[in-house]
Chains A and B, each alone.
Chain A
Amino acid sequence: MMRDVLQSVEGISLYPIISMIIFVLFFAILIIWMIKVDKNYIKKMSNLPLEKEDENGIINTGELNEK
Chain B
Amino acid sequence: MELEKFSYDNKIVRNFALATIIWGFVGMLVGVLIATQLFHPQLNFNIPFLTFGRIRPLHTNAVIFAFVGNAIFMGIYHSMQRVLKARMFSDLLSNIHFWGWQLIIVAAAITLPLGLTSSKEYAELEWPIDIAITLVWVVFGINMIGTIIKRREKHMYVAVWFYIATWVTVALLHIVNSLAIPVTLFKSYSIYAGVQDALVQWWYGHNAVAFFLTTPFLGLMYYYLPKAANRPVYSYRLSIIHFWTLIFIYIWAGPHHLLYSALPDWAQSLGTVFSIMLIAPSWGGMINGLLTLRGAWDRVRQDPILKFMVVAITAYGMATFEGPMLSLKNVNAFAHFTDWIISHVHIGALGWNGFLTAGILYWLVPRLFKTELYSKKMANVHFWIGTLGIVFYASSMYWSGIVQSLMWKQFTDIGVLQYPNFLETVLQIIPMYIIRAFGGTLYLIGFVLMMYNLIKTMKQGSFEANEETEAPAMLKEVKDKKYSHRWLEAKPIQFLVVAFIAVAIGGIVEFLPTFLVKSNIPTIASVQPYTPLELEGRDIYIREGCNNCHSQLVRPFRSETERYGEYSKAGEYVYDHPFLWGSKRTGPDLHRQGGKYPNLWQYLHMEDPKSMSPGSIMPAYPWLITDQLDITNTAAKIRALQKIGVPYPEGYNQFAVDDLIKQAEEIALDLQNNGAPAEADKEIIALIAYLQRLGTDIKADKIASDK
| Residues of chain A at the chain B interface (Cβ within 8 Å) | 1-2, 5-6, 8-9, 12, 15, 19, 22, 26-27, 30, 33-34, 36-38, 41-50, 53-56, 61-62
Segment from B170-178, B230-238, B455-463 that makes contact with A? B230-238
Knowing A2-B265, A34-B241, A62-B152, the reply to whether A46 touches B517 (Cβ < 8 A) is no
Q: How far is the CA of A26 from the CA of B241 in the complex (A)?
A: 11
Q: Contact between B236 and A45 (Cβ–Cβ < 8 Å)?
A: yes
Nearest residue (CB) in A for B158 is A45
* Number of residues on chain B facing chain A (CB within 8 A): 48
Could you tell me the distance between the alpha carbons of A4 and B528 in the complex, rounded to whole angstroms? Answer: 25
Q: Is A41 in contact with B472, judged by CB distance below 8 angstroms?
A: no
**Alpha-carbon distance between A33 and B488 when the two chains are bound, in angstroms:** 12
Measured in the bound complex, the distance between the Cα atoms of B237 and A19 in whole Å is 27
* Subset of 12 A-B contacts with CB under 8 Å: A5-B520, A6-B520, A8-B517, A26-B502, A34-B241, A38-B482, A45-B157, A49-B82, A50-B226, A62-B154, A62-B472, A62-B474
Are A5 and B519 touching (Cβ within 8 A)? yes
Q: A26-B502, A61-B472 are in contact. Are A47 and B232 (CB under 8 A)?
A: yes
State how many angstroms separate the Cβ of A48 from the closest Cβ of chain B: 5
Q: B700 — which chain A residues lie within 8 A by C-beta?
A: none
Q: A49-B227, A50-B230 are in contact. Are A30 and B241 (CB under 8 A)?
A: yes
> A38 vs B522: C-alpha distance in the bound complex, in angstroms?
54
Alpha-carbon separation in the docked complex, A21 to B533 (Å): 51
On whether the beta carbons of B157 and A33 are closer than 8 Å, the reply is: no
Name the contact of B153 in the complex, choosing from A15, A42, A48, A55 (C-beta under 8 A). Answer: A48
B645 within 8 A of A: no
Closest residue of chain B to A8, judged by CB? B517
Q: What is the CA–CA distance of A44 and B284 in the complex, to the nearest angstrom?
A: 21
Q: Find the B residue at minimum CB distance from A56.
A: B231
By a beta-carbon cutoff of 8 Å, the part of chain B in contact with chain A is: 1, 79, 82-83, 85, 152-155, 157-159, 222-223, 226-227, 230-233, 235-237, 240-241, 244-245, 248, 264-266, 471-472, 474, 482-485, 502, 505, 509, 512-513, 516-517, 519-520, 522
Residue numbers in B under 8 Å from A43 (CB-CB): 236
Cβ-defined contact, B482 with A48, below 8 A: no
Q: When chains A and B are docked, how far (Å) is the Cα of A44 from the Cα of B482?
A: 14
- Beyond A46-B233, A62-B85, whether A22 also contacts B505 by CB under 8 A is yes
**Contact (Cβ within 8 A) B513 A37:** no
B236 and A15 form a contact (CB under 8 A): no
Q: Which residues of B contact A44 (CB under 8 A)?
A: 155
Cβ-defined contact, B241 with A46, below 8 A: no
CB pair B505 A46 closer than 8 Å: no
User: How far in angstroms is the closest Cβ of chain B from A58?
Assistant: 8
A47 to B513, CA, bound (A): 46
Give chain A residues whose Cβ lies under 8 Å from the Cβ of B232. Answer: 46-47, 49-50
Q: Are the C-beta atoms of B240 and A34 separated by less than 8 Å?
A: yes
Most buried by B among A8, A44, A49, A61: A49
Kindly report which residue of chain B lies nearest to residue A44, judged by CB atoms. Answer: B155
Judge whether B231 and A62 touch: CB under 8 Å.
no
Closest to B234 in A: A46
Cα of A47 to Cα of B236 in the assembled complex, Å? 9
Q: Are A62 and B522 in contact (CB under 8 A)?
A: no
7 tightest A-B CB contacts, nearest first: A46-B232, A46-B236, A2-B264, A42-B236, A48-B157, A49-B226, A45-B236
Inter-subunit contact B159/A30 (CB<8 Å): no
Cα distance A29–B83 when bound, in Å? Answer: 27
A45 vs B266: C-alpha distance when bound (angstroms): 42
State the CA gap A34–B231 with chains docked (Å).
22
**Do the beta carbons of A55 and B230 come within 8 Å of each other?**
yes
Collect the chain B residues with CB atoms within 8 Å of residue A37's CB: 237, 240, 485
A11 to chain B, nearest CB (A): 10
List chain A residues, Cβ under 8 A from B152: 62
Residues of B contacting A8 in the complex (Cβ-Cβ under 8 angstroms) = 517, 519
Assembly CA distance A36 to B240 (angstroms)? 13
Nearest Cβ on chain B to A31's Cβ, whole angstroms: 8
Closest CB-CB distance, A62 to chain B, in whole Å? 5
Distance A3 CA – B520 CA, assembled complex (angstroms): 10
Q: A38 and B483 in contact (CB under 8 A), knowing A45-B157, A50-B227, A62-B471?
A: yes
- Determine how close the nearest CB of chain A comes to the CB of B576; give it in whole angstroms: 20
- In angstroms, Cα B252 to Cα A19, docked, is 12
Question: Is B517 a contact of A49 with CB atoms below 8 Å?
Answer: no
Q: Is the CB of B522 within 8 A of A1?
A: yes
Min CB distance, B485 to chain A, in Å? Answer: 6
Beta-carbon contact of A30 and B233 below 8 Å: no
6 new A-B contacts, CB < 8 A, other than A43-B236, A56-B230, are A6-B520, A12-B513, A37-B485, A41-B485, A46-B235, A49-B232
B contact residues around A9 at 8 Å (CB): 513, 516-517
